[in-house]
Structure 1
Amino acid sequence: MKVIGVIIFTALVLTAFLMNLFGLMRLYPIYITSPLLFLVIFFTIKSLFHRKKFKGFKSYH
């Protein structure tokens, strides 16, 4: 599952990067493509390095 995720996120990052290049050439609005590139990179890093963390024991008092 992790390999498929890496492939999908790599494709998303490359697509967002190309759209950002088109934005720099003024084919797309740059105020749409820059946040899109940021969000794709952010969610890629967040999902690839997500770990299950111990959140403590729950008390039922």
Structure 2
Amino acid sequence: MKIAAVIIFAVLVLVAFLMNLFGLMRLYPLYITSPLLFLVIFFVIKSLFHRRKFKGFKSYH
């Protein structure tokens, strides 16, 4: 993975985590910041473990 992608992922997770902390301090709504943190972590993990998968041979009938 390229170093730029890792840096972008780290920044996104850090920003989402800080926003969630602000949500816990009731500066932002917690029902917005918690799903945002979940989605950022989900997409980071999904992109890290994404592999090219064999989808089978295409038939030309």
Q: TM-score, normalised by structure 2?
A: 0.94
Paired residues in the alignment total 61
Give 5+ residue unaligned stretches, structure 2: none
Shift of the alpha carbon at 1:34?
A: 0.2
1:19 equivalent to 2:22? Answer no
Q: TM-score, normalised by structure 1?
A: 0.94
**Which segments of structure 1 move beyond 3 Å, counting only runs of 4 or more?**
none
Shift of the alpha carbon at 1:46?
A: 0.7
Shift of the alpha carbon at 1:39?
A: 0.3
Mapping of residues 1-61 of structure 1, within 5 Å: 2-61=2-61
Larger RCO (CA within 8 A; separation ≥ 6): 1
Give 5+ residue unaligned stretches, structure 1: none
Task: Give the partner amino acid of 1:52.
Answer: R
Q: What's the RMSD between the two structures over aligned residues?
A: 0.9
Task: Give the partner amino acid of 1:21.
Answer: L
Q: How many percent of aligned residue pairs carry the same amino acid?
A: 85
